[in-house]
């Protein structure tokens, strides 16, 4: 099973700041990684797929990068609605797996 390790567990930032979230895979997964956002009481939402492609309707302030085992989600300037939990997920091998999540909270 491919293990995805997200860091940090919690990121405390202010609106307008840049957020950088990390996801590390236990083995190479090419670019077969997605990022999801989950706000309290809501379902997850697909943000980025295949490491760097924004899903439909996702603002340009969200960007993804990386390949192999190291991936990054960057939010260039945090908006109030961006404070949430972010999960990475791989589709390279069965079973599909998620990372443990990074909570982006208001400082």
Partner 1 sequence: EVQLVQSGTEVKEPGESLKISCQGSGYNFPSYGIAWVRQMPGKGLEWMAIIYPRNSDIRYSPSFQGQVTVSADRSISTAYLQWSRLRASDTAMYYCARRDGDYFFDFWGQGTLVTVSS
Nearest to 86 by CA among 4, 3, 1: 4
Task: Give residues 26-55 in contact with partner 1 (rule: CB under 8 A).
Answer: 34, 36, 38, 43-46, 49, 55
Q: Would you say 33 or 75 has its CB closer to partner 1?
A: 33
Interface size with partner 1, residues (CB under 8 A)? 21
Exposed, middle or buried: residue 13 (CB in 10 Å: 0-12, 13-18, 19+)?
Answer: middle
- Residue 84 CA to residue 58 CA, distance in Å, equals 15
Interface ranges with partner 1 (CB under 8 A) = 1, 34, 36, 38, 43-46, 49, 55, 87, 89, 91, 94-101
């Amino acid at each position: 099973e491919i293990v995805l390790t997200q860091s940090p567990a919690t990121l405390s930032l202010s609106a307008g700041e840049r957020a950088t979230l990390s996801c590390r895979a236990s083995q190479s997964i090419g670019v077969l990684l997605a990022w999801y956002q989950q706000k309290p009481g809501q379902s997850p939402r697909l943000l980025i797929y295949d490491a760097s492609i924004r899903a439909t309707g996702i603002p340009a302030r969200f960007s993804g990068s990386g390949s192999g085992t190291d991936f990054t989600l960057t939010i260039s300037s945090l908006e109030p609605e961006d404070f949430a939990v972010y999960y990475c997920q791989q589709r390279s091998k069965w079973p599909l797996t998620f990372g443990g999540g990074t909570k982006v909270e208001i400082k």
